[in-house]
Chain A
Amino acid sequence: MRHASRKEQKHATQRRLVEVGLDFFAARGFANSNTADFAKAAGVSHGAVFLHFPTREALVLRVLDAFGDRLSAALREAMQGEASFKGALRAHLTVLREYEPFYARLVQEGPLLPLKARSLLFILNASVSHRLKLAAEAEAAAGAMRKIAPHLLFNTWLALLHYYIANRDVFAPGQSVLAAKGEELIAHFLSLVRSGEKP
């Protein structure tokens, strides 16, 4: 049996630390966590963390990159080919629900993170907004939806979601707020943007 090279072992350890980081930062947040506790959670020495990531910020950015890659792939898969506006909203919500604990941290602490990290949400959301715009344009052309500027349509939807996510402990204690309130939020948002529907 071939032994893993030192480089392969290093990459494997880094991947494992990133996996631990996804759970660790989802549970502890970014601002109120430290690398000593992260090392404990990962079962490595404090110094070993810095062998792989020169700074705490480098660790956070790597974990955020991994999260962004996964969320982006999941959103793409869920929303690809989803032509109806309601279907696109539901696909968006379903994916966020899957990643809700980590995503909630980004919503709650995003403005406190370095700009590079903050950019992640906007980069991810550009493609979601684009998908919603395409679906909305098709339904507006058919007279089923009001014509609304794409950025306002998206930001209004996101404001609704983020308010519930940021206050998830109040709206749905101990459970996923998107699972508990998602359908209600979709129905409400549709009542605002659809032609002829009363809120």
Chain B
Amino acid sequence: MTVKCVSCGSCGFPMEKAEDFALGDPSQPYCRYCTDSAGALLPYENVLAVNARHYVETQGVSPEAARTMAAALLASMPAWRDRAPI
């Protein structure tokens, strides 16, 4: 099933298909990568690590720079924008 493309409120991942959403449910605000098996949002550190790894794999940047970039991205996301900085 294809649904109107929206972005994950945690990491910005474009959710194009039902299986991209938490629990495979297009009404969920977060993607399957940012949530656990019950559909709950994972802790910030887990989401940060997954996103940082994505930058390493797709662009070959250093793990340290990848973490900085991931933190910059998450800081603007609805799930994390009100979170106090580390």
A residues bordering B, Cβ < 8 Å?
65, 72, 76, 80, 115-116, 119, 122-123, 125-127, 129-130, 133, 149-152, 154-155
Contacts and interface: CB of A to CB of B under 8 A. Distances in A.
Contact of B61 (A122, A149, A150): A122
A127 B59 CA distance: 10
A80 B5 contact: yes
Interface residues of B, number: 17
Grouping DSSP codes into helix (H, G, I), strand (E, B) and loop, the B interface class, with mixed when no group exceeds half, is helix
Interface of B: 5, 12, 14, 16, 54-61, 68-69, 72-73, 76
A127 B14 contact: yes
Q: Which of A116, A125, A154 has the most CB of B within 10 A?
A: A116
Nearest to A158: B59
Given A72-B12, A155-B60, 8 more contacts: A76-B5, A80-B14, A80-B16, A119-B68, A119-B73, A122-B61, A125-B58, A130-B54
Grouping DSSP codes into helix (H, G, I), strand (E, B) and loop, the A interface class, with mixed when no group exceeds half, is helix
14 contacts: A65-B76, A80-B14, A119-B69, A122-B55, A122-B61, A123-B69, A125-B59, A126-B59, A129-B58, A149-B60, A150-B57, A151-B56, A151-B58, A154-B58
Contacts of B14: 76, 80, 127
Given A80-B5, A119-B68, A154 B59 contact: yes
